[in-house]
Amino acid sequence: MKVIKSSELMVPVVLAGGSGTRLWPLSRTDYPKQFLSLGGELSLLQQTVARFDESDVAAPLVVCSEKHRFLTAEQLQALEGQNATIMLEPCARNTAPAIAVAAWQLLKDHSDAVMVVLPADHLIADNNRFIETVFQASQMAQEGHLVTLGITPTAPETGYGYIESGEETGEVGGGRKVDKFIEKPDVCTAESLIAAGNCYWNAGIFVFKASVFLETLQQLQPDMHEFTRQSVDKASVDLDFLRIEESSFSQCVNLSVDYAVMEKADNVVVMPYDSGWSDIGSWDAVHKASERDANGNSGTGDVLHHGAKDTYLHAGSRLVVALGTNNISVIETSDAVLVIDNTNAQSIKEAIAILSKQGRKELSEHTTCYRPWGHYESLKLHPRFQVKRISVKPGAKLSLQKHFHRSEHWVVVKGTAIVTNGDEEILLTENESTYIPLGTMHRLYNPGSIPLELIEVQSGSYLGEDDIVRVGDEYGRA
């Protein structure tokens, strides 16, 4: 059903730059939670973008970090008929500058565009009801309001901010005036807020005209208004991306849109939404959003619950068994295991802080790493050698490169490879191999129609990924 009038241009603006550390060890800096499949076959990013497929809206605009550009593009390309614009933040400056650059970009072609600003990592249970609510909010946005969606609370959650509402505006759309925004409260305060009956969870979902947002930003944050304008005016096209100019953007203060605009503006209204929402901000939230058995257990992968109650299990690489457990989550990956009490799910922040001080690479990297040409998995790492499984997409080509500290041995196990090895170009098929000495220029290309898979054995004094000198690259990384 078409729910958006053709006279109104509505553009989903998806903020996909988050780090998602609260879902560690599955979510990591190099592969944060918006790219994970939680609550469906599609990733959270894909679900967010696909949410508007049946609505008469413009193609989405996705704002993501430089680091995740190829991962974002690949996931969006996997959605049939998707034609999103991807804007690259040169550095992290929080949600206010990210929304501002999106607004400036929209104003280039659409002076009356309504932005629907969405985090890329939320779950929505009732998509039709959500779209209807967004349409109601857009009617208020057309009247010059900055609209925030307020989730009707179901429990005294301490991990969310709250919005205290006042009287109804009396205008088309049915929103309420916002009295104040409330920081994440303690349990007693959250209980009193819910009991008052006029408070909502702050979902970080906004609907407003791009022009109205920028006018308000100019009044409240004039420097940010100017720096973001300059960064978009000087933006450049790079492959499939719109690259925001760094020198101007980096001068923006690091502020959320709540602090920068919503808590200070006098034209803010809240639109209540009460039909199933989760920010999937903890493993307890993942458990609650999952299909549970009669004992309240749920899980993914090769798992077994026996005598367990209210237990969530995630098995990434092996069998995970829970015996007689109660109200815990166990998350297993190939290089880390987390066991956490669901009643204290937010305590993971403390563990993350400790691991960060220790410089643990498990916070940022998975054993499987994704690249624009495919991915590789580290099978065995030793101070003097490493074994990897490399998968190259059909038609993809690695950079022309060399290493100063390691040699490599490649064995093809599936598909066909064209290998540049020094001055030679070699065709390799299954069970064939080549040796690349230290310092030799080399390149790998998959000319076939199926993925190329090979085993790489590295040996040398240093095996870090930064020991790469790129001379030529299809993806602008040289």
Asked whether residue 304 is domain-assigned, the answer is yes
Residue 152: the pLDDT is: 92
Main-chain phi, psi angles of 192, to 5 degrees? -70, -35
Model pLDDT, residue 1: 29
346 and 375 share one domain: no
477 is a domain residue: no
Give the separation between CA 173 and CA 143, rounded to whole angstroms: 10
Q: State how far the alpha carbon of 219 is from the alpha carbons of 216, 245, 264, 269, 320, in Å.
A: 5, 23, 10, 18, 55
Range 9-13 average pLDDT: 93
Q: Same structural domain for residues 154 and 230?
A: yes
Task: Find the farthest-apart pair of alpha carbons in the chain and give their distance in angstroms, rounded.
Answer: 76
> Does residue 18 lie in a domain region?
yes
The residue out of 278, 296, 321 marking a domain boundary is 278
Mean pLDDT of 423-452: 96
Domain presence at residue 137:
yes
Q: Strand, coil or helix: what is 34? A: helix
Examine the domain organization and report whether 375 and 427 are in the same domain: yes
Which of 240, 261, 278 corresponds to the end of one domain? 278
CATH of the domain at 260: 3.90.550.10
Report the DSSP beta bridge partners of residue 11: 115
Domain that holds residue 344: 283-357
Last residue of a domain, one of 302, 331, 357: 357
Separation of alpha carbons 201 and 204, rounded Å: 9
Tell whether 75 and 213 lie within a shared domain: yes
Angle (nearest 5°) at CA 205 between 39 and 27: 40
Pick from 4-13, 233-242, 273-282, 398-407: least confident? 4-13
Q: Higher pLDDT residue, 429 or 472?
A: 429
pLDDT at residue 28 greater than cutoff 90: yes
- The CA-atom distances, in angstroms, between 391 and each of 66, 416, 455, 471 are 23, 11, 9, 22
CA distances from 126 to 90, 274, 278, 298, 348 (A): 35, 10, 12, 21, 29
Q: How many domains does the chain have?
A: 3
Q: Are residue 160 and residue 299 in the same domain, yes or no? A: no
Average pLDDT over the chain, rounded to an integer: 92
Query: In percent, how much of the chain has pLDDT > 90?
Result: 75
> Model's pTM, two decimal places?
0.89
Pair (202, 293) in one structural domain: no
Residue type, 233: D
pLDDT for 6: 36
